[in-house]
C-alpha cells in the first residue's frame, strides 16, 4: 500500500512546546506534502518537500524527508493554541494518497 | 482569484434518493480530485478528473457513484440511491500541474447526511 501512516494518532502539548509528527510510507514518491485541517473543514496546504530534498522550512514549520527510511517528519516549533488541528501527510506518487492524520491539541 | 467552491455545503437525503455534489475549481485549474472523509478519519481518494476525461477512478465504488467534469461548468459527483453508509464529508481539490505548483487546493466540503 502507498498509504502514509502518521504517528502519533493524537498529540497533546502545552503552548510553547514543540510538536513533532511523523509519516511513514511504503512506495516511491515524487514529493510529500503536509496539510492541516481544522474541525472537519477543507484541508490547507502547509509545505511540500520533493524526493530529492532532505529538509524544508516555512515559518515555524520544519519538514524532513528520509527516502531511505521512507519517512517524513513535521515539526511545529513554539506551538500556539491556534495550531490545534489535524495534520495529514499526502504522498504524491502515482496518485495523491493521504494518511489517517495526527490530531494535535495545543493547550493554553 | 476565488478559491475552490463546493455546493451545497450541507445536503440531507433520505435513503434511495440521489445526491449531486458540485465543485468549481480554482480559475485556471483543469484537474479535480474528489475525496471522502468519514468522521475522525483521513481522506480517501475517489476519483481524479481532467476536463471531459476521467484519469483515475480507482477509488470510486463500482455502483451508484459517478463523476464528471464537463468542458463548461463544475465537476459533479453523483451518488444514486444513497444509503446511510454514504454519510460523510466529500471534498474536492483542484490542481495546477507543473513545477513547482503541484499543490492541491481544497474546497470547504459538502457534508452529506443520509437519513
Burial, B56: exposed, middle or buried (Cβ in 10 Å; 0-12, 13-18, 19+)?
Answer: middle
Radius of gyration of chain A (CA): 13
Which residue reads 447526511 in cell numbers?
A: B113
Other residues' Cβ atoms within 10 Å of the Cβ of residue A32: 26
Is B45 in CB contact (< 8 Å) with chain A? yes
Q: Is the pLDDT of residue B19 over 70?
A: yes
pLDDT score for B104: 84
DSSP per-residue codes, A5-50: EEE-SEEEEETTS-EEEEEE-SS--SEEEEEEESTT--EEEEEEEE
Identify the pLDDT of residue A1: 44
> How much is the pLDDT for A2?
52
Nearest CA in chain B to A3: B44
Cis peptide before A8 (omega within 30 of 0): yes
CB contact under 8 A, B104 and A90: yes
Check residue A7 and give its pLDDT: 83
Cα(A48)–Cα(A61) distance, rounded to whole angstroms?
A: 11
Confidence band (pLDDT; 50, 70, 90) for B98? Answer: low
Q: What is the mean pLDDT of residues B98-105?
A: 66
What SS3 state is found at B6?
Answer: strand
Peptide bond into B2 cis (omega under 30): no
- State pLDDT tens for residues A47-88: 999 999 999 999 999 999 999 999 999 999 999 999 999 999
Q: How many residues does the structure list for chain A?
A: 108
Nearest-neighbour CA in chain B from A15: distance (Å) = 23
Task: Determine the Cα angle at A47 with ends B48 and A26, to 5°.
Answer: 60
**Range 51-70 of A in CB contact (< 8 A) with B:** none
Q: Which residue has the cell 524544508?
A: A56
Contacts of B44 in chain A (CB under 8 A): 98
Q: pLDDT tens, B20-70?
A: 999 999 988 889 999 999 887 888 999 999 999 999 998 999 999 999 999
> Given B58, B102, B106, which is nearest A92 (Cβ)?
B102
The model's pLDDT over A3-35, given as tens digits with 9 standing for 90+, comes to 678 888 899 999 999 999 999 998 888 889 999
User: What is the model's pLDDT at position A3?
Assistant: 67
- The residues facing B43 across adjacent strands are B37
Least confident of A5-14, A63-72, B8-17, B98-107: B98-107
Amino acid at each position: 500500500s502507498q498509504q502514509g501512516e502518521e504517528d502519533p494518532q493524537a498529540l497533546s502539548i502545552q503552548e510553547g512546546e514543540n510538536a513533532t509528527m511523523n509519516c511513514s510510507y511504503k512506495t516511491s514518491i515524487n514529493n510529500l506534502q503536509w496539510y492541516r485541517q481544522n474541525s472537519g473543514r477543507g484541508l490547507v496546504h502547509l509545505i511540500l518537500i520533493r524526493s530529492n530534498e532532505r529538509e524544508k522550512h516555512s515559518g515555524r514549520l520544519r519538514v524532513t524527508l528520509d527516502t531511505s527510511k521512507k519517512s517524513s517528519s513535521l515539526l511545529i516549533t513554539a506551538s500556539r493554541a491556534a495550531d490545534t488541528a489535524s495534520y495529514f501527510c499526502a504522498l504524491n506518487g502515482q496518485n495523491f494518497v493521504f494518511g489517517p492524520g495526527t490530531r494535535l491539541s495545543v493547550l493554553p | 482569484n476565488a478559491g475552490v467552491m463546493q455546493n451545497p455545503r450541507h445536503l440531507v437525503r433520505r435513503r434511495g434518493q440521489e445526491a449531486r455534489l458540485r465543485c468549481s475549481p480554482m480559475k485556471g485549474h483543469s484537474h479535480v480530485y474528489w475525496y471522502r472523509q468519514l468522521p475522525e478519519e483521513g481522506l480517501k481518494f475517489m476519483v481524479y478528473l481532467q476536463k471531459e476525461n476521467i484519469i483515475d477512478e480507482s477509488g470510486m465504488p463500482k455502483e451508484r457513484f459517478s463523476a464528471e467534469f464537463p468542458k463548461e461548468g463544475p465537476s459533479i459527483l453523483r451518488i444514486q440511491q444513497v444509503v446511510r453508509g454514504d454519510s460523510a464529508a466529500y471534498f474536492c481539490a483542484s490542481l495546477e500541474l507543473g513545477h513547482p505548483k503541484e499543490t492541491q487546493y481544497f474546497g470547504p466540503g459538502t457534508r452529506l447526511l443520509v437519513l
